[in-house]
Amino acid sequence: MLNIEEKNSQLTNNPFLTKWKRDPNLEIRLACVEDGLDNTGFRKISAYIKSIHTNTKIAYIPTSNYRNIIGQLTERGGVTFGDKDIYNVAKYMSEGDIAAFSSMTQSSFTVYKIIDQVRKLNPNTFIIWGGIHAIIQPEDAIKYADAVCTGEGEFAFETFLNLFKNGEDFTTAPSFWFKIDNNIIKNRNLPLMTPKEMDELPPLTYEDGEIVYQRGKGFREINIKNFIDYTGLAYGTVWSIGCPLHCTYCGNTKFIEYDKGYRRIRHSSPEIIIEEISRAISKQPHLSVVNFYDDSYLALPYEQLEEFCKLYKKKINIPFAIYGVIPTYVREDKIALLLDAGLNRIRMGIQSGSENILEFYKRPTKLKRIKEATVIFNKYKKYMVAPAYDIIIDNPIETQEDTLATVDLIYEMPRPFTLNVYSLRVIPNTDMAKQLEDRGVDIPSITKYYGSGYHRTMANSLIFALTFWKIPKWLYKILRKKVYPIQMKQPHYSILFTLARTGYMLKRAYDHLRFLDFSILPGKVGYYLWKFKIISLWQKFFTKRFHLTDISPKVDPKADPKADPKADVSPKV
């Protein structure tokens, strides 16, 4: 064990530790490099960092707008930044003593270029990379950054920052990897935050002095126009963290590899999430819907949902959508409870109609349970925008029977519904990446936008068409004979596919406009409809609202123990 003199000598003689500006007044610059302004994780950690170090500047670097209608129609995802954009962003970040980036893997190539330019402009800026990409593929991120955060970053960054500012050995900070010359120091991750600790976090960053990069204009202070352009009338957030599943294609598998506790559902109290939403609405009164991006919202215990709903109706009382729904946890009593509080839209993961492919994805829910969930949603169709179901296509592992099973499932589903159709992409370091590598199968990585590059097959054409047209049985039988998996040689139906996808998007827009819901439709139209009170009048006089006092779901707890409103079915590991 080193004595104090030996330790001080080691710190003084290590160029990596002495190179950087290390004093209490250093400046931190944080940047979120993604395709929008919705990154809840970045807003959470940026708020925490600013609460412990006031000399912190927060910036959004939108690489594109994934809600852009033209981009969706033309299958254009993230747009590559030009050299001028890279330079402008890098110049701003290089003026900080610490430059910290957050990104998903889709945006990692843009971050590579920005970091490279920062190095040239100011070699003395300490560079950190965090967020999903750094957690899932730290081996890649550490090639470019001085440090990589590999877990929940709030408390880890605080430890690092205290060591860094005080001239101590910051390479001991937990939940970080550090690169010194050709050596990498890998430190263990801190335990996951407890619900009590989540309650004590500061409010998420939301119009608190952030700036946003605009092409051709440079950095500007974020304003109402930015929110309307990127998020429409919606406020996006996450109440609960964790997912009980272990899907092979999902980045959560890496989180679970670090800490199996990630499969437990953790959340702040209902009061805290209500305070967060109230604060956002006080800053942007046009907000007319809340989007919850939790991975498994319906796995929350009934009692917690009940408390949330009471507070939400009393203090918020605008429509909300839940994006992370696992069929296993769909219960009619929970759906009725949420509808009474203002639920108007649901997104549920199905992925495939084939038991074989569901097993390949390690999705434990059987088709019978999936079908039951869609029937429950359909009972309340007049109160909700058509539910959206996730489907993965273009999987080279599928047989003809697998592809047919998915098309048949969609054909038989109760209407109305829509789909989120994803062309299969591989996230590095996931179980699927390893599976496909073992099989010698090569498919595009997640860096290629999964909402583009669809194969123009009959199967894919039918999947889109069935969202707006229940094809007559006789015609469906004829078209079904032309369904093959993508790896088989087959005709391509470019015109049919384009017509089907255009019809799908028009039907989806209609489903939202019927409720004057602008949670996925950005731009000024929704804002002016709100401003002139057309949305509030429409919702008051033309939108049907479900009330628990009017209709009680007929549930027999003896027949289905999970249906007991007092039963806690939150996942345990």
Contact between 506 and 468 under an 8 Å Cβ cutoff? The reply is yes
Confidence of residue 66 (pLDDT cuts 50, 70, 90): low
Query: Can you tell me the mean pLDDT for 366-379?
Result: 97
Helices 367-379 and 332-341 cross at an angle (nearest 10°) of: 40
Q: What is the CA radius of gyration of the chain?
A: 25
Residue 78 pLDDT:
54
- Rounded to 5°, angle at Cα 221 from 220 and 224: 110
Q: Quick check: 296 pLDDT over 80? A: yes
Confidence of residue 551 (pLDDT cuts 50, 70, 90): low
CA distance 397 to 402: 9
Q: Which two tokens stand for residue 125?
A: 């800026």
CA distance 222 to 210: 6
CA distance 287 to 271: 19
Confidence of residue 556 (pLDDT cuts 50, 70, 90): very low
Question: Which is more confident, 394 or 443?
Answer: 394
Task: Give residue-wise pLDDT tens across range 323-349.
Answer: 999 999 999 999 999 999 999 999 999
Residue 1 pLDDT:
41
Strand order of the β-sheet with 234-237 is 234-237, 289-292, 320-325, 343-351, 388-393, 418-423
Residue 265 pLDDT:
96
CB neighbours of 269 closer than 8 A, spacing ≥ 6? 195, 199
CA distance 106 to 401: 32
Residue 2 pLDDT:
42
- Rounded to 5°, angle at Cα 181 from 164 and 108: 80
Helices 302-315 and 270-283 cross at an angle (nearest 10°) of: 30
Q: Quick check: 41 pLDDT over 80? A: yes
From 14-18, 52-56, 152-156, 187-191, the region with the lowest mean pLDDT: 14-18
Residue 213: Cβ within 10 Å count = 20
Task: Give residue-wise pLDDT tens across range 446-472.
Answer: 776 667 789 999 999 999 999 999 999
Task: Give residue-wise pLDDT tens across range 234-244.
Answer: 999 999 999 99
Q: Which sign does the torsion angle of CA 362, 366, 371, 377 carry?
A: negative
User: What are 59's strand-pairing partners?
Assistant: 31, 211
CB neighbours of 557 closer than 8 A, spacing ≥ 6? 563, 564, 567
Q: Quick check: 572 pLDDT over 60? A: no
Task: Give residue-wise pLDDT tens across range 469-524.
Answer: 999 999 999 999 999 999 999 999 999 999 999 999 999 999 999 999 998 888 89
Report how far apart, in Å, the C-alpha atoms of 227 and of each of 182, 220, 262, 481, 522 are. Answer: 43, 13, 31, 47, 9
Confidence of residue 72 (pLDDT cuts 50, 70, 90): low
Q: Quick check: 568 pLDDT over 70? A: no
Q: Which sign does the torsion angle of CA 132, 452, 387, 67 carry?
A: positive
pTM metric for this prediction:
0.92
Q: Quick check: 570 pLDDT over 50? A: no
Output the average pLDDT for the chain. 91
Residue 197 pLDDT:
98
Q: Which sign does the torsion angle of CA 119, 125, 126, 130 carry?
A: negative
Residue 552 pLDDT:
53
CA distance 315 to 277: 9
* H or E segment and range at residue 129: strand 126-130
Task: Give residue-wise pLDDT tens across range 73-107.
Answer: 666 655 568 899 999 999 999 999 999 999 999 89
Greatest pairwise CA separation for the chain in angstroms: 86
Q: Quick check: 51 pLDDT over 50? A: yes
Residue 65 pLDDT:
66
Q: Quick check: 373 pLDDT over 80? A: yes
Residue 573 pLDDT:
30
Q: Which two tokens stand for residue 227?
A: 């929110």
* H or E segment and range at residue 459: helix 458-465
Residue 79 pLDDT:
57
